[in-house]
Structure 1
Amino acid sequence: MIVATAGHVDHGKTTLVKALTGTDTDRLAEEKRRGMSIDLGFAYADFGSEWPIGFVDVPGHERFVRNMLAGVAAVDFALLVVAADDGPMPQTREHVAILDLLGIEQGAVAITKIDRVSPERLADVRVEIAALLARSALQGAPVFPIATPSGEGLAALRTHLTAADLAWTGRSTQGSFRLAVDRCFTIGGAGLVVTGAVFSGRVNLGDQLLISPQGTPVRVRSIHAQNRTTLFASAGQRCALNLVGTGLKRHEVQRGDWIVALMAHAPTARLDVRLSVLGSESRALTHWAPVHLHIGATALSARVATLGERSILAGSTGMAQLVLDQPISAMRGDRFILRDQSGQRTIAGGFVVDPFGVTRGRSKPARLAQLSAMELPSASDSLMALMAVTPEGVDLARFGQAWNLTTHELDSLLQGLEIQVIATASGRVAVAASQWASLGVAICAAVDAWHGEQADSLGPTDAELASQLSARNASAVFRAALKSLLTDGSLVREGLSMRRPGHRARLDADDVLLLERVSAILQAHGLRPPIVGELATTLNMESPRLLEFLLRVSALGHLVRIARNRFFLPSTVVALSELAATLAAQSADGMFDAAQYRDRSGIGRNLTVQVLEFLDRVAATKLIGERRAMQP
């Protein structure tokens, strides 16, 4: 268990921790000189449970709230310290508000310096504390009057802390390992050491980790957990890691960084959050307000983009996107604090709903529905709800990262759900089994309707079908559904068109004969069919009349117009697309240029340009700079 002190400056937090642990947590020379904590202090006490209890002693002065926030982000128990002579003071109130916003519900109150006041004054302070905590998570927390010089009350507090530690069930060790760095230093002969609270997962000796958000690889040489040398550490413990890495320097890691497992490294600069504004604020938190964000041990500037409403009223909650001035490491459920632009006043807090906020459409109803799904308490419920409002499917890798699920945990979750998992070039996508079945029925119905309305057409192209269904043509789910229907025989591909197995396009007799003649000429010319004028000469027809015919049968899917004066057989277009796919597959980076396509196809420069521009238009390829890749 990790215990953090809280309370106003000079109320005796450090003295109390020393009395409980025997450790003076004021380690800086300036702290000794001024008699006041400036930075975080750390101590441990063995009260008889399996692991020592860790204490984080935080500074109480308003100037050092930033340091205080770095120490309380992942504690399990708050020890609120109030001096009997002063009673609750401004920083007492702010610290209580911070503990509330961070969701810290376990705690106790120590009233110090009782040897300096009368029994009547002590009784008054009790009443003040009860009033302060009345609407907080610490309401009803036990109160321990203490006189540190004589030791009065210390035994009762130790007994309570011991009982709380024994009753503490510990944090779940599920998820990838994440440690929020609050201290880093070097030790002669050992090298770099980082300390911090373990937010999730487990780390073992020899593990390969990353410094995030930088992505610097490191290896764990040794571990101290709760002040003991050990082979592993897990969520809910304070931990010191001796890290080694190629050319690793002290300046490459600092307070606010994270040490994470490889899967947990996903830097982000936009956090979609559930935000609670303190009721003590005199005004609402408005859209695009500048703030200071404190999350984990990180502190940085950000802007608040309210979602759905233009402002969030004092004492209320709302959805918002935090737009950060630099990338950080964060996961769904991480708690945070917001202070005003000057960094002098705590104004709000909340938790991360989706660490991967979108840049466009963040306030649209569809996106807000996705955030409502992400806000559900369990990952399985969240995924099912998310699939219901995400027709293009849920990116499982992104979902797993957002929820900090290991590969094994994600796969186990999927096994218990009625879903369809689709493998794509960029990863796995999931849709609900019912949605998958409905999509297949809708596609077949759309093709049937097409045949009924356009009996002389082969059938719709992929793009036309997607448009008819209001589906995204690039959607991995839509393309996978087409592939599945082709595989089971529900659909048949005819060139670029889709048709039902029993459908045959009906052209009049003259059109059939002319199409057969045109097709024979195009087939004979392979990948380099003649232009319209040359084709008209061969057929002994006037060019305008032939062009009208070619346009009409192309609209029906019998031919494909790739340029103003060039028409191809559908099978030839398929061959040209497959050639592009082959070039991309044979390239190390999955890309090719026009010269490579020209040389492999042998169709010449001008026709190559026309073909590739056509493939871009039908979303078979994508132009990236001077090169092309296949669309996913």
Structure 2
Amino acid sequence: MDVIATAGHVDHGKSTLVRALTGMEPDRWEEERRRGLTIDLGFAWTTLPSGRRLAVVDVPGHERFVGNMLAGVGSVPAALVVVAADDGWSAQTAEHVAVLDALGVRHGLLAVTKSDLADAAPVLADAGERLAGTSLGRLPAVAVSARTGAGLAELSALLEQLLAGLPAPDPVAPVRLWVDRAFTIKGAGTVVTGTLAAGTVAAGDRLDLGGELVTVRGLQSLGEPVESATATARVALNLRGVAVEQLSRGAALLTPDAFRRTTDLDVSLVSPVEDRLPAELVVHIGSATVAARVRPLDGSALRLRLTEPLPLRVGDRLLLRDPGARRVFGADVRDVDPPELRRRGAAATRAAELAEQPTGEAGALADLARRRFVRRADFVAMGWPVPAGVPAVGPWLVAPALVDELAARVPQVVARYRQLRPLEPGPPVAVLRSALELPDAELVPAFVRPPLSLRDGRVVAESAGLPPEVQRAVDGIRARLAQEPFAAPEAGDLVAAGLGARELAAAVRDEQLVRISEGIYLAPGAAEVARARLAGLPQPFTLSQARQAWGTSRRVAVPLAEWLDARGVTVRQPDNTRRLR
């Protein structure tokens, strides 16, 4: 299906032309039909001679309903500009075309209506010239009469050509359906309608609505039930899990986690503005309308602060409207998570960054370089593609140039830490995270390279050892234990050797001593030696028998036996004897 919007003045016969083209009444309200005045959005559809389905969004032409008009054109890729032969170009026509130009609409047709009442040629020429200077460019044009039917066949043929030339929407893109109507149907519940500009929606889908998940119970397109709909399409979704009172025009149904809701964003004006912008503007996107405070940065760059969050992405086109002066401006979203501007000159610096920032993958790399680290899901939700080859650590993306730079700093951090704390093998992960200014400790392994390694939550060097004086003392203790493996030195002997609590803990971490219990230290391999000696005893054995086999005192034997129990070397029996496992 294809979707287009009408544009033009209230008296130019837009709705009449839509009725003649589709055979449907686009004006939904009795007041609209009675007054001949489109007040709100109207919808109609038809099948063209080729079999192609076309939906038409008929927008209000009166200046008092410009807000409704903007809600109708925001998601539509093409426009039918309607001008009357007996009236010509009007202020409202100019306003509608200015909106289309600001939105960057590049596909459309010009229809001059009421050709039975006046010569259409002058209006075709005048309107064509006016449109040529906009984003629409020189449009195919036709003179028509809804009353006589003249030109309707030609209009259908031009519509066929227009629709065939529209860029194909991405069927697998995330869904962002801007709601233009919400109502209830007896027996069905809440229903919303909108123009699906990208992606696919199907019955059973779960969509995000203001942070809450709702389920698509069913859907229709052009008045018929369908299992799924693919952009571009007019759709009506029957929702489960939401009351109609929770919905209004401007709400958005989103693929979960695919968009970033933001109140602060940086944008660039599409065209230069001669006059100074007001401090407040109205932002339009899709069917949403939100007020915004404006902070000019420099040149065409602006910082907007919205009064309500909107789900936006980099590359979105916004319409900024000055309601006081009836001016509209197009603006491209450049950043949905902009940096704070605290220092003097920060605004101008930020504007220069935006002016130099490219689009696509090059822009993504530039943005990633500024952020240094960003979660992949957040980066994609901002609207950036993930460039090929970008370093990834778990859920994190890392600026390419940063990996080697930070890895080169790690040895310095480790050496400095060891200098200040020689008894520790290296800094804890949390210390290195802080030194490298990493947002999460899970990034640390990406920057630790040989001869450094991660061990027990610390970054250590393979050659890391004990300070010389501590090493000499430990060597002395181990020499004694080599002769008598279970003759653990007394506390006084340890102190006399210069081994306090910190030195002993360092020797244990370096796997040069084994801590059996408080104050009891043996050499590595003590468990194997103890087991070998117990193997020569009758099973089960008493603690006294074990002590004699080990050749040690009760001071050592009791904690050693419990240590072996805890490691599964021995099993304690109900009668307090033990056996080897």
1:593-604 to 2 correspondence within 5 Å? none
Alpha carbons of 1:461 and 1:264: their partners in 2 closer, same or farther (altered >3 Å)? Answer: closer
> Distance in 1 between the 2:295 and 2:18 partners?
41
Q: Is the Cα–Cα contact under 8 Å of residues 470 and 499 in structure 2 kept in the other structure? A: no
Is contact 2:6-2:57 (8 Å) kept?
Answer: yes
What is the 5 A alignment of 1:552-563? Answer: none
Match of 2:380 in 1: 400
Query: Does structure 1 retain, via aligned residues, the 8 Å contact 2:105–2:135?
Result: yes
Trace 1:9-408 onto structure 2 (pairs within 5 A).
Answer: 9-49=10-50, 51-118=52-119, 122-211=120-209, 213=210, 215-245=211-241, 248-264=242-258, 266-276=260-270, 283-285=275-277, 289-307=279-297, 309=298, 312=299, 318-342=300-324, 345-359=326-340, 363=346, 376-378=358-360, 380-391=361-372, 393-403=373-383
The 1:366/1:171 distance shift into structure 2, 3 A limit, reads same
Alignment of 1:501 onto 2:424: no
Give deviations 1:59-118, integer Å, cap 9, x for gaps. Answer: 111111100000001112111111122221111111111111112100111111222224
- Measure, in 2, the Cα distance between the counterparts of 1:517 and 1:127: 106
Partners of 2:419 and 2:208 in 1: CA distance: 59
Give the 3-state SS of the residue equivalent to 2:283 in structure 1.
strand
The one of 452, 455, 463 aligned to 1:490: 452
Shift of 1:21: 0.5
Q: Please report the TM-score for the alignment, with normalisation by the length of structure 2.
A: 0.73
Is the CA contact (8 Å cut-off) linking 1:267 and 1:327 kept in structure 2?
A: yes
Q: Is the alpha carbon distance of 1:93 and 1:489 closer, same or farther for their aligned partners in structure 2, counting shifts above 3 Å?
A: same
Residue 160 of structure 1 deviates from its aligned partner by: 0.7
Give SS of 1:229's match: strand
Tell me the distance in 2 between the aligned counterparts of 1:517 and 1:328: 71
Partner in structure 1 of residue 526 of structure 2: none
- Judged with a 3 Å threshold, the aligned counterparts in structure 2 of structure 1 residues 75 and 516 are, in CA distance, closer, same or farther, namely farther
Give the superposition deviation at 1:319: 2.2
Structure 2 distance, partners of 1:278, 1:485, is 45
Q: Which amino acid aligns with 1:225?
A: S
SS of 1:19's partner is helix
Return the offset for 1:382. Answer: 3.4
- Cα distance in 1 for partners of 2:342, 2:233 equals 40
| Pairing 1:434-453 to 2, within 5 Å after superposition | 434-444=401-411
Q: CA 1:291–1:517 in structure 2 vs 1: closer, same or farther (change >3 Å)?
A: farther
CA contact (8 A) 1:418 1:432 kept: no
Query: How many matched pairs?
Result: 483
- Counterpart in 1 of 2:393? 422
Structure 1 residues 50, 419: CA separation in 2 closer, same or farther (over 3 Å shift)? farther
The letter for the 2-side match of 1:85 is D
**Shift of the alpha carbon at 1:502?**
6.2
Selected match of 1:475 from 428, 439, 442: 439
Residue 605 of structure 1 corresponds to: none
Q: What SS is found at the alignment partner of 2:33?
A: helix
Bigger Cα Rg = 2
* Cα distance in 1 for residues equivalent to 2:430 and 2:42: 63
Q: 1:497 to 1:439 in 2, by over 3 A?
A: closer
Displacement, 1:464? Answer: 8.2
Native 8 Å contact 1:292 1:341 kept in 2? yes
The within-5 A match list for 1:1-12 is 1-12=2-13
1:209-240 Cα deviation digits (max 9, x unpaired): 222x2x33322122112443211112211111
Query: 1:50 Cα shift?
Result: 5.7
CA drift of 1:268 comes to 2.0
Using a 3 Å threshold, how does the CA distance of structure 1 residues 327 and 518 change in structure 2: closer, same or farther?
farther
**How much does 1:466 deviate?**
7.6
Percent of residue pairs bearing the same amino acid type: 35
Structure 1 distance, partners of 2:417, 2:340, is 41
State how far apart, in whole Å, the 2-side matches of 1:516 and 1:132 are.
Answer: 96
C-alpha distance in 2, partners of 1:48/1:295? 33
Q: Which amino acid aligns with 1:103?
A: G
Contact 2:98 2:328 in 1 (8 A): no
Structure 2: which amino acid aligns with 1:74? Answer: S
Q: 1:217 to 1:72 in 2, by over 3 A?
A: same
3-state DSSP of counterpart to 2:333: strand
Which whole-Å CA distance do the structure 2 matches of 1:345 and 1:433 have between them? Answer: 46
Give 3-state SS (helix, strand or coil) of 2:404's partner. Answer: helix
Gaps of 5+ in 2: 475-493, 506-581
Computed over aligned residues only, the root mean square deviation of the Cα atoms, in angstroms, reads 3.8
